[in-house]
Amino acid sequence: MRLLDRSRLETLLHMEEERFHVEHPASYALFQRACQSMQGGVPMLWMIRWAGTFPIFVKEARGAYFTDVDGKSYIDFCLGDTGAMTGHAPDATLAAINAQAARGITLMLPTEDAIWVAEELQRRFGLKNWQFTLTATDANRISIRMARHITGRPKILVYNNS
Q: Considering only CA atoms, which of 129, 107, 133 is closest in space to residue 118?
A: 129
- Please report the pLDDT score of residue 126 as a whole number: 96
Please state the rounded mean pLDDT for residues 132-155: 88
> Is a pLDDT exceeding 70 seen at residue 162?
no
Instruction: Identify the pLDDT of residue 42.
Output: 92
What is the rounded radius of gyration, in angstroms, for the C-alpha atoms of the chain? 22
Confidence of residue 45 (pLDDT cuts 50, 70, 90): confident
pLDDT at 161: 67
Contact 132, 117 (CB under 8 A): yes
State the Cα angle at 48 between 43 and 49, rounded to 5°.
135
Predicted local confidence at residue 118, as pLDDT: 95
Judged by DSSP in three states, 92 sits in helix
Find out whether 84 and 61 touch, Cβ atoms under 8 Å: yes
Q: Tens digits of per-residue pLDDT, 49-103?
A: 877 899 999 999 999 999 999 999 999 988 877 677 788 999 998 999 899 999 9
Is this model's pTM higher than 0.95 or not? no
As a residue count, the chain comes to: 162
Characterize 11-44 residue by residue with b for buried, 16 or more Cβ atoms within 10 angstroms of its Cβ, and e for exposed. eeeeeeeeebeeebeebbebbeebeeeeeebbee
